[in-house]
Amino acid sequence: MATSTLPDSLLQEANFKATTSGGKGGQNVNKVATKVELYFDIPGSKILSDEEKELLIEKLHTKISDEGILRLISSEKRTQLENKEGVKKKFVALITKSFSKPKPRKKTRPTKVSKEERIKDKKLVGEKKKSRAKIN
The domain segmentation of the chain, as residue ranges, is 6-99
Quote the pTM value: 0.67
Q: Is 116 exposed, middle or buried (0-12, 13-18, 19+ CB in 10 A)?
A: exposed
First-to-last C-alpha distance (Å) of the chain: 76
Q: What is the pLDDT of residues 49-75, one digit of tens each?
A: 889 889 888 888 888 888 889 999 888
Which fold is adopted by the domain 6-99? Double Stranded RNA Binding Domain (3.30.160)
How sure is the predictor about 2, in pLDDT bands with cuts at 50, 70 and 90? very low
Residue 79: how many other CB atoms lie within 10 Å:
13
- Beginning with the edge strand found earlier in the chain, give each strand of the sheet holding 69-74 in spatial order: 15-19, 35-41, 69-74
